Amino acid sequence: MAKSLTYRDAGLNLETYAETMSGVQSLIASTWGPNVLRSPFKGAGGKGGSFASLYDLEPPNGGGLFSRIFSRKYKRPVLVTCTDGVGSKLKIAMMANKYDTVGIDLVAMSVNDLICTGGEPLTFLDYLAMDKDDPTRTVELVKGIRDGCLESDCALVGGETAILPDFYRPGEFDMAGFCTGVVEHSNIIDGSRIEVGDAVLGLAASGIHSNGYSLVRKAVFDVGGLAIDAHVPELNATVGEALLTPTRLYVRPVRKVLEHYPVKKKGVIHGLANITGGGLPDNIGRILPPGRRVRIRRGSWPELPVFPWMQGLGNIEQAEMERVFNMGIGFAMIVSPSFADSIRNQLKAIGVDAWAIGEVTGGEAGVEMI
């Protein structure tokens, strides 16, 4: 008689999966404020819990960081949603066997987009897909997601872990994230207020962030021939350390400025852009209304060493670098010129360098690098 098949024969071990889930529960719960409703009981075998996450928009007892979001009594709240992944930067994590920072990248890819509307992130969910159950690796990944959520004042309310041995080769995995937020309708920032004469402020990036890593890997490993643990003197770091620097989270700095200059009262902040794939030209260009053009002045901000190092290794033309990478500016704010210096000072006071990198002119919508 043929052997009776089990799930384990197909590459999945439910006992290991249970161990994995128990290892991440405390990390997830550490991001919860009074808005997140917890399951009232554990259920059979301690496996209870809702089939979906519940987030109370007006917790009766209030208190804490998260409840303040709705203390202002929104008149016309608009839901903001974003989803994204980390991309091939995950290949670097696999090469370096280091998994505790790419979760920060995952959160940043969504929340940095979300705040471009003027909104506030509320909840985050993740999706992990792996070749096999690996409790240690999963905990490291979720630690990064937890850290990103805490820094973004966002609750990690749940997620999904898929074990797909037939989809991924040994050691491979992928991850994606989904974020929800809220913005008052009258406070939505969509670029329509951008005027000729506005100043463009560039906020410092932490590094390459999470875009362009197919070109990064080609330049550094295929053309440059470097190993993941090779020391790079001009960066004072190994290749892996330099390439795994997590994406900067801009939620708190941008929210701080927006709280100081409410959109509907002063109209100081006219446009916000997360500088991801496409660089400064594409991402600033996407928020420009007709008849508004932006000139970005090269050399108006300090150059991060990682970019010329990588450019030299791969012999990459300058135009291609600017089209693919953030070039040291991770976020842009288009603001009334009278308030530009004040905003820069506010950002500097909370540890974020910013520079006046350009201005808005009249003409066909687009961005010039000059």
pLDDT given for residue 21 in this prediction = 72
In this structure, the answer to whether residues 182 and 237 fall within a common structural domain is: no
In this structure, the answer to whether residues 282 and 362 fall within a common structural domain is: yes
| Of 162, 187, 212, the domain-final residue | 187
* pLDDT tens per residue, range 132-174: 989 999 999 999 999 999 999 999 999 999 999 999 999 999 9
CATH code of 283's domain: 3.90.650.10
Domain assignment present for residue 61? The answer is: no
The parent domain of residue 99 ranges over 11-36+75-187
Domain assignment present for residue 354? The answer is: yes
pLDDT given for residue 288 in this prediction = 97
60 Cβ contact partners less than 8 Å away, ≥ 6 residues apart = none
In this structure, the answer to whether residues 222 and 305 fall within a common structural domain is: yes
pLDDT given for residue 99 in this prediction = 97
For residues 292 and 365, the answer to whether their CB atoms sit within 8 Å is yes
Domain assignment present for residue 54? The answer is: no
In this structure, the answer to whether residues 161 and 249 fall within a common structural domain is: no
Domain assignment present for residue 45? The answer is: no
In this structure, the answer to whether residues 235 and 359 fall within a common structural domain is: yes
* pLDDT tens per residue, range 184-212: 999 999 999 999 999 999 999 999 999 99
| Of 154, 187, 220, the domain-final residue | 187
pLDDT given for residue 24 in this prediction = 81
Domain assignment present for residue 136? The answer is: yes
In this structure, the answer to whether residues 297 and 338 fall within a common structural domain is: yes
Domain assignment present for residue 303? The answer is: yes
Domain assignment present for residue 192? The answer is: no
In this structure, the answer to whether residues 335 and 216 fall within a common structural domain is: yes
Whether the full predicted model's pTM is greater than 0.85, yes or no, is yes
**Structural domain total, the chain:** 2
In this structure, the answer to whether residues 180 and 217 fall within a common structural domain is: no
pLDDT given for residue 16 in this prediction = 74
Q: Is the dihedral of CA 10, 16, 22, 27 positive or negative?
A: negative
Domain assignment present for residue 345? The answer is: yes
In this structure, the answer to whether residues 143 and 242 fall within a common structural domain is: no
- List per-block mean pLDDT (blocks of 10 residues) for the chain, which spans 370 residues: 70 71 78 76 56 77 53 81 96 97 98 96 96 93 97 94 93 97 93 96 98 96 97 97 98 95 79 96 96 97 97 96 97 97 96 98 95
CATH code of 144's domain: 3.30.1330.10
HEC assignment per residue over the chain: CCCCCCCHHHCCCHHHHHHHHHHHHHHHHCCCCCCECCCCCCCHHHCCCCCCCCECCCCCCCCHHHHHHHCCCCCCEEEEEEEEECCCHHHHHHHHCCCCCHHHHHHHHHHHHHHHHCCEEEEEEEEEEECCCCHHHHHHHHHHHHHHHHHCCCEEEEEEEEECCCCCCCCCEEEEEEEEEEEEHHHCCCCCCCCCCCEEEEEECCCCCCCCHHHHHHHHHHHCCCCCCCEEHHHCEEHHHHHCCCCCCCHHHHHHHHHHCCHHHHCCEEEEEECCCCHHHHHHHCCCCCCEEEEECCCCCCCCCHHHHHHHHHCCCHHHHHHHCCCCEEEEEEECHHHHHHHHHHHHHCCCCEEEEEEEEECCCEEEEC
In this structure, the answer to whether residues 327 and 273 fall within a common structural domain is: yes
In this structure, the answer to whether residues 240 and 331 fall within a common structural domain is: yes
